[in-house]
Amino acid sequence: MAARTRLPLLFPKNLPPFRNQRLVQTEAAAKDPAYPPIVPSRTAKSKSALRRQVEEHVQKVRASPVEEKLALITRIQRQKFVVYPQTFARDADRWYQHFTKTAYIPGLPEKFTRGQEHTGGEEGSPPAAAQTTVPGIENDAFADIRSLISRVILQEHWYQKKRRPFLFREQEHMVGPLLRNLVSGLTYSLAKYNPLLPLCSLDVNPQVNFYWSRGQRIIPRGHRSGRLEPTRFQIDDHPHTQIRITQQLPEFAPLEASYDAEVPEITLAPNLMPMFRRQYDNNIFTGSKLPDPARYGHTQFHLVPDRYHRDRMARQQQSDQVEVFLRANGLASLFAWTGAQAMYQGFWNYEDVTRPFVSQAVITDGHFFSFFCYQLNTVALSVETDANNPRKNLLWGTESLRLYESVQDGEVVGLNDSVIKLLVQFLMNQP
Amino acid sequence: GSKRLFTSPLRYPLYQLGNPQLRIFRPNWFLTLVRPGKEQPPDTAQFRIPMEMTKCDVKNYLEKIYNVPVGAVRTRIQFGSNKKRNHLSQKVKQPDYKVAYVQLAQGQTFTFPDIFPEKDRTAAEGSVEEMQEKFLEDEKQKQKPDPRRGGVTEWFGL
């Protein structure tokens, strides 16, 4: 400093260098003025404020643990379309495919058709009566299962005398116990061949719920007219029985294979289907609460109620709707189940699944069995997340196959082996 | 017969097990096929039906008389407004009517045709209408501003 002219008594000969030039190069760069980040307001009546609120909500949900995530996603109650898996609506499967972004592939995935091809090739040499190519099951075990199934059928239709049930309760009385006994019998007998089954959880008449939103519409009238509203859906399903396991089943097809699949696009509103809106609690439930270790799904079994039985449909000249009904049922139930499983793992609309979730279903009315396999590749179905999402969910399904012809004189006539083989293969599915 | 059915109010006779099936011959009902106000799925046709008809009646009517395969029928009653008032301040009621949405079976589709297509209205050569149109066109052209000014109004400039 120039004002200081009196020097100290012991004036050093060599002054330290750069005494008056305080480290010129280094400090100026670090001393940038630090302003807070410029973001739009949170509470203003503007579109950017709304966007900021949405963004903050998304970040909040991302950062919270799974229970809080579910609670935050299903917190606000609004009018939503209730999707019934078993519906009387015509062409319901096309509509449901659009709502859940699912592509339908007729037939079963390669895992199950490989067995079918082998029997086709081996038909030539030995007789096909006791031949089975289900890997891991010997012929004796298969014969045991055959006798188990015929026992179960005879128990309900031959040994037990039943009175004529009340109106529209026939399926519940005749086929309900049959299916329950069948499922529990098969699970126990296959428990020694499938290591997952001893640790599985067999639910009887469980609840499966799922809540999601897809698409949007402009509100036509009211104090919110002109604004965009997302269309919300809720499925409340009650499968007859289901099997939940501790590990996840392997995928049927790679994720990338779903990019080319075709999903029907429907531009009309869902209430033309007809589908109705209600407002009540938004539930997401796989069949048990979050801390349950058996949190992945294996197989569901559904019963076709009297109202949709094929005889009644034939009387009303709607036989073509039978297959449509089965497909819609399989699609909606399995989508709800796999979606709920994914939500339980923390994947939601803005955090898409990293691995595909896979489940199977068998829908039956006592005589005819249809088999469905579902692979959930994406949960991001709302408008913002679906814009650049090439993934689609996949549903494989069969036509209905007859299990047995009839019951005569204490014998089951015409027991179909391929259907039994498919049932066994379904239950033997393991990673 | 059908006469007993249409005396007011309409009540079909109660069916009990063993009764003969109810049959209606030569019904006095007429359906009106209308253009839907809101867009409907391709397999749906919209009708205005008399109030006394039910869903089963519509289905049987279309199937038996017109051989149309019907999948499902849904009906609703549209309330006609009672709000307008005439020169005597009396309320004037527009009549109520029943609407039926019929979904066709066997994959058939139906779109309501265009009954009033646009026509090119060019007048015949040498006729009065042509001279009048030409005169009106010239008048309109005179009203337009000078194209050489390039859209600038007359307010500016000389």
Query: Would you call A318 and B105 a contact, using CB atoms and an 8 Å cutoff?
Result: yes
Domain assignment of residue A218, yes or no? yes
Domain assignment of residue A288, yes or no? yes
Mean pLDDT of A189-197: 91
Mean pLDDT of B16-32: 90
Interchain CB contact of B99 with A (< 8 Å): no
Domain assignment of residue A131, yes or no? no
Mean pLDDT of A220-232: 94
Mean pLDDT of A88-110: 94
Mean pLDDT of A7-13: 78
Q: State the pLDDT at residue A2.
A: 57
**Single-letter amino acid code for the residue at A140:** D
How many structural domains compose chain A?
Answer: 1
Mean pLDDT of B94-121: 93
* A252 pLDDT higher than 80: yes
Mean pLDDT of B8-29: 84
Q: Give A238-251 pLDDT, tens digit per residue.
A: 999 999 999 999 99
Tokens 């089963």 -> residue: B56
**pLDDT averaged over chain A?**
89
Q: What architecture (CATH level 2) is domain B32-104?
A: 2-Layer Sandwich (3.30)
Within 8 A by CB and 6+ apart from A217, the residues are A228, A229, A231, A269
Q: Which SS3 state, helix, strand or coil, does residue A385 take?
A: helix
Max CA-CA distance within chain B? Answer: 100
Per-residue confidence at B1, pLDDT binned at 50, 70, 90?
very low
Return phi, psi of residue A283, to 5°: -115, 145
* B134 pLDDT higher than 50: yes
* A338 pLDDT higher than 60: yes
Q: Give A22-35 pLDDT, tens digit per residue.
A: 655 555 556 788 88
Q: Cα distance from A360 to chain B (closest Cα, Å)?
A: 30
Domain assignment of residue A6, yes or no? no
Mean pLDDT of A84-112: 94
Mean pLDDT of A214-237: 94
Per-residue confidence at A15, pLDDT binned at 50, 70, 90?
confident
Query: Would you call B71 and A268 a contact, using CB atoms and an 8 Å cutoff?
Result: no
* A282 pLDDT higher than 80: yes
CA within 13 Å, CB half, A400 = 22
Q: Give A47-78 pLDDT, tens digit per residue.
A: 999 999 999 999 999 999 999 999 999 999 99
Task: Provide the percentage of residues in chain A whose pLDDT is more than 70.
Answer: 91
Residue of A nearest to B59 (CA): A316
Q: Could you please report the per-residue DSSP string of A29-85?
A: HH----PPP----SSSSSHHHHHHHHHHHHHHHHHS-HHHHHHHHT-S---EEEEPS
Mean pLDDT of A268-281: 94
Is A386 buried (19+), middle (13-18) or exposed (0-12) by CB count in 10 A? middle
The helix (run of H) or strand (run of E) holding residue A417 is helix A417-428
End-to-end CA distance of chain A: 81
Q: State the pLDDT at residue B124.
A: 73
pTM summary value? 0.86
Residue in A90, A265, A315 to test binding to B, most B beta-carbons within 10 Å: A90
Cα–Cα distance between B50 and B100 in angstroms, integer?
10
CB-CB neighbors (< 8 A) of A317 in chain B? 69, 105
Q: State the pLDDT at residue B13.
A: 84
Domain assignment of residue A263, yes or no? yes
Cα–Cα distance between A200 and A250 in angstroms, integer?
16
Query: Would you call B71 and A318 a contact, using CB atoms and an 8 Å cutoff?
Result: yes
Q: State the pLDDT at residue A29.
A: 58
The answer to which of A24-38, A112-126, A163-177 has the lowest mean pLDDT is A112-126
* A124 pLDDT higher than 60: no
Q: State the pLDDT at residue A7.
A: 79
Q: Which SS3 state, helix, strand or coil, does residue B13 take?
A: coil
Query: Would you call A272 and B106 a contact, using CB atoms and an 8 Å cutoff?
Result: no
Is B64 buried (19+), middle (13-18) or exposed (0-12) by CB count in 10 A? exposed
Residue in A272, A275, A318 to test binding to B, most B beta-carbons within 10 Å: A272
Q: Give A361-385 pLDDT, tens digit per residue.
A: 999 998 999 999 999 999 999 999 9
Per-residue confidence at B11, pLDDT binned at 50, 70, 90?
confident
Q: State the pLDDT at residue B10.
A: 66
Cα–Cα distance between A356 and A362 in angstroms, integer?
20
CB-CB neighbors (< 8 A) of B103 in chain A? 90
Query: Would you call A88 and B39 a contact, using CB atoms and an 8 Å cutoff?
Result: no
Q: Give A341-358 pLDDT, tens digit per residue.
A: 999 999 999 999 999 999
Mean pLDDT of A214-228: 94
CB pairs under 8 A between A and B: 21
Mean pLDDT of B94-108: 95
The answer to which of A356-365, B6-15, B32-41, B96-105 has the lowest mean pLDDT is B6-15
Task: Provide the percentage of residues in chain B whose pLDDT is more than 90.
Answer: 63
Which among B39, B40, B72 has the least Cβ separation from residue A90? B72
End-to-end CA distance of chain B: 90
Mean pLDDT of B135-149: 90
Closest residue by Cα to residue A68 from A295, A319, A290: A290
Q: State the pLDDT at residue B126.
A: 73
**Tokens (6 digits) for B141:** 């052209």
Cα–Cα distance between A194 and A180 in angstroms, integer?
20
Cα dihedral A324, A330, A332, A337, rounded to 10, equals: 180
CB-CB neighbors (< 8 A) of A98 in chain B? none
Q: State the pLDDT at residue A130.
A: 40
CB-CB neighbors (< 8 A) of B100 in chain A? none
Higher pLDDT, A4 or A376: A376
Mean pLDDT of A92-115: 91
* A129 pLDDT higher than 50: no
* B14 pLDDT higher than 90: no
